[in-house]
């Protein structure tokens, strides 16, 4: 009778520790997922620089066209080349963000 009681007690303790471990693993996964989302959002800050760069490009384009209207086509062409290069830097940050989110 005593052996049966000890066996029940030991088994209940083993199951209790196992359930604690499962709860801890769930919390650990949740914490790691939160850090993953934070790390994913950091490369997205490159779009702040993109917005500033695009604003500077087109603001200076307006000033340049106001000063020299004869070269409007050339200025617009170079402005769009600069715009595309600035946007590419933002998309590189987006790709890094997706890599952090889905690859790790």
> Domain-by-domain residue ranges, the chain?
1-41, 43-104
Give the list of residues 6+ apart from residue 44 with CB closer than 8 angstroms, or none: 93, 94, 97
Q: State yes or no: pLDDT of 13 exceeds 70.
A: no
pLDDT given at position 36 = 83
What are the CB-based long-range contacts (under 8 Å, 24+) for 54-62? 54/83, 54/86, 54/87, 57/82, 57/83, 57/86, 58/83
For 36-73, how does the pLDDT look when each residue is reduced to its tens digit (9 = 90+)?
A: 888 888 888 888 889 999 999 999 999 999 999 999 99
Q: Is 85 helix (H, G, I), strand (E, B) or coil?
A: helix
For 23-34, how does the pLDDT look when each residue is reduced to its tens digit (9 = 90+)?
A: 666 777 777 788
- pLDDT > 90 in the chain, percent: 38
CA 104 to chain centre: 12
pLDDT given at position 60 = 95
> Which CATH architecture does the domain made up of 43-104 adopt?
Up-down Bundle (1.20)
């Amino acid at each position: 009778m005593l052996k049966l009681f000890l066996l029940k007690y030991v088994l209940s303790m083993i199951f209790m520790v196992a359930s604690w471990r499962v709860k801890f693993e769930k919390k650990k996964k949740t914490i790691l997922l939160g850090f993953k989302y934070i790390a994913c959002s950091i490369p997205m800050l490159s779009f702040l620089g993109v917005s500033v760069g695009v604003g500077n490009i087109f603001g200076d384009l307006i000033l340049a066209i106001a000063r020299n209207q004869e070269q409007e086509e050339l200025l617009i062409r170079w402005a769009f080349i600069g715009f595309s290069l600035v946007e590419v830097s933002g998309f590189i940050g987006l790709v890094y963000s997706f890599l952090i989110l889905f690859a790790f």
